[in-house]
Amino acid sequence: MKLPSFMIDHLRHERPDRPQAYFRHGVFAFTNSWKLLLAGVAGVVHAIFPWWFKFYSAEQVVRTFAKVANSGRHDDLLERYGLQQHKTSADADTP
């Protein structure tokens, strides 16, 4: 089954150096968003009962950030906010 172009064109053209398949993008976005929603609820519970969910929300945010940052698809955002850019294996020897 071929997907309509409006569903996949932005995945190829916005990052031509790092294309991402439609299904892979959907799974990545859904799972990380779901985890962040759960972390948000846990954070609200933690605000009321500080002995529950210690560091859970922060850990989920950091894990999700690491996945997004290491994907290399959002280097422009990392630069905009003054964060370290993703290094490719070719850049590994460069400090």
Domains of the chain, residue spans:
5-83
Q: Interhelix angle for 56-70 vs 22-48, to 10°? A: 160
Q: What is the pLDDT of residues 20-78, one digit of tens each?
A: 677 788 898 999 999 999 999 999 999 999 999 999 999 999 999 999 888 877 888 88
**Is it the case that residue 93 has pLDDT exceeding 70?**
no
Q: What is the pLDDT of residue 75?
A: 83
Q: What is the pTM of this model?
A: 0.65
Predicted local distance difference test score (pLDDT) of residue 14: 57
For 12-21, letters b (16+ CB in 10 Å) and e give eeebeeeebe
SS3 (DSSP) at 16: coil
Can you read off the two tokens belonging to residue 25? 């993008």
